[in-house]
Amino acid sequence: MALDLFMSLLALFFAYLIRFDLRAEEELIREEWEILSKSIGVYIGVKFLIFYLFKIHKGLVRHTSTEDMRRIVSATFLSSVVFALLGVLRAKFYDGFYLIPTSVLLIEFLASTALLLGMRFAIKLLYMESMKNKDVNDRVVIYGAGISGLITKRTMEKDQTVARKLVGFIDDNKKLAGNRLEGVNIFHSSNLEKLIREEGITLLIIAIQNPDNEKRKKVVELCLEHNIEVQKVPSTKSWINGEFSTKQIAKIKIDDLLGRKAIDLDEEKIGKELKGQVILVTGAAGSIGSGMVRQIANYAPEKLILLDQAESPLYDVQNELYAEFPDLNFEVVIGDIRSFDRMKNLFQTFKPRYVFHAAAYKHVPMMENNPSEAVLTNVLGTRNLVDLANETGVYKFVMVSTDKAVNPTNVMGASKRIAEIYAQNANRKGTTKFITTRFGNVLGSNGSVIPLFQRQIDQGGPITVTDERVTRFFMTIPEACQLVLEAGTMGEGGEIFVFDMGESVKIMDLAKKMIQLSGLELGKDIQIKVTGLRPGEKLYEELLSKDENTLPTHHPQILKAKTREEDAAQIERIDSLVDLFNAQDNLAIVTQMKKIVPEFISNNSLFEKLDKR
């Protein structure tokens, strides 16, 4: 308070100097002091009272903010108003002189405000500089010169425990290049390599909330090439009161490199089909099934039925729906699609109009060792659902299949192809429209390669890759679920829709990038071990067999596969396959599968001998 009053007196002195053009005569000064001396006590008293009422002395100076500025400006303005009113009273009722001349009063208001604010910000800056770690560990570039980038800069500056120097911003907007943001230069993203070379950049922080995937990928690839660490700002959902801490700035994940341009969906058509409908999702606790549930919940169905036999994961999905969709009418059903009676009860009770069938066994090596279980779930389970859908008049039945069903080299892929055949054949038997969707590996799904690699990295390695030549197609869970919905609404029955998976990714390259993104060095911090192909595993995945070709649809990322016609004898063979379960004869089961799917040629499997007969 004493310092604030001293600054105010200094402002008053400065105002008088300005009034007299800094060169007043001694006699004039004496006259002015004669007038002012009678009111200086009032000046100090008014200032003290108003400053105290506005509590401008309560703010922590090192954390001065716009709220403190507002209070100070309000206090000095009110003080000037009070001085003006008291001046009028003095002139009229006391000695004919104003408390403070009007010109001095105006100058004093501006000078007092400037000094009070300036003092606080000067102390704040000195404090921040004194707390800074002088040893700079990272030279940083922020990708994105928008609001998020600005907040990132301020967050970095607040955290004095982190030894980082901000070299500049980069942005894809050419109009911003050459400008400054709070004194920091903005460069076009095409100049990143030059910045890395000339400024010794060690860290890039992605501060764009919804970046263009291709541009982001290009920037990250360049950083990895030069061994630059890449981090990203958290989603705004995790910000608290519009802010985040530097501890929330995390390393970029491999998903951010493999993700592609957002898919443009026909939201209106999807909403029109699904709104107000009873919808069943099988495998609702799995990666794709739970993703489907989240997508469908946005379209306000009349009732959403979640079916799965995995109790604990289904419980987690249920709690998530309670939190995120409090108005959603949904039912959780524990059940096994292999039980016809249980499924019949479900269909008769809820009478679903749409069925999205995502329940399946999917792990290739495990199904190679357990063919009877692959048939029981993927074939019999699908047959149960397909038959009941036709029997109860389901409008559309959308089956989630896999690229491993194409020219299958393993039991799992063959079982899914047989399920496709059965669903396609059923399309000709009733009013239900049966639609199949095929896609490749899904990023982050249960049991997929990326979570496996991440666990191995966390454990110090080694990372296990089956073969240096192995490639796979990848798609994000939301992307896959959106395309299933789009295909399901556009389908008229009997189609197999194939999704554009983009370019295949070499698994060895994927492992190397994940090592780099983790801040480790291959060969020094962690090793990659080649273990050899697992039973039934392919080197390269396909989305179409050699007997199929595609037709375009209204969506550029969805194609329609033209498949061969399957005769009625195939259904008899499928029924015979299911009957073989009781015998538990793996060779007999796989032999029958190969009769149904002639292109099923086993690879790296004990069932290869069946192909040599």
Catalytic amino acids? 404
Task: Name the residue among 300, 506, 494 with its Cα closest to residue 397.
Answer: 494
H or E element, residue 344: helix 340-350
Q: Give the 3-state secondary structure of residue 366.
A: helix
Chain-centroid distance, C-alpha 394: 35
Instruction: Read off φ and ψ for residue 142, nearest 5 degrees.
Output: -100, 125
Instruction: Read off φ and ψ for residue 353, nearest 5 degrees.
Output: -95, -30
Helix runs in 262-310, H state only: 267-274, 287-297
Q: Give the C-alpha separation, 518 to 523, whole Å.
A: 14
| HSE (side-chain half, CA atoms, 13 Å) at 31 | 8
Instruction: Read off φ and ψ for residue 175, nearest 5 degrees.
Output: -65, -25
Task: Name the residue among 541, 519, 547 with its Cα closest to residue 224.
Answer: 519
Task: Name the residue among 142, 130, 244 with its Cα closest to residue 195.
Answer: 142
H or E element, residue 281: strand 278-282
Q: Give the C-alpha separation, 169 to 150, whole Å.
A: 9
Nearest 5°: CA angle at 138, between 132 and 143? 110
Instruction: Read off φ and ψ for residue 384, nearest 5 degrees.
Output: -55, -50
Give the number of other Cβ atoms within 10 Å of residue 607's Cβ. Answer: 25
Q: Give the C-alpha separation, 402 to 484, whole Å.
A: 12
The first and second tokens of residue 110, run together, are: 């501006």
Chain-centroid distance, C-alpha 10: 54
| Beta pairing partners, 132 | none
Q: Give the C-alpha separation, 534 to 610, whole Å.
A: 18
Long-range contacts of 127-135 (CB under 8 A, 24+ apart): 127/61, 127/62, 128/62, 128/157, 128/160, 131/160, 132/160, 133/160, 133/161, 133/162, 133/163, 135/163
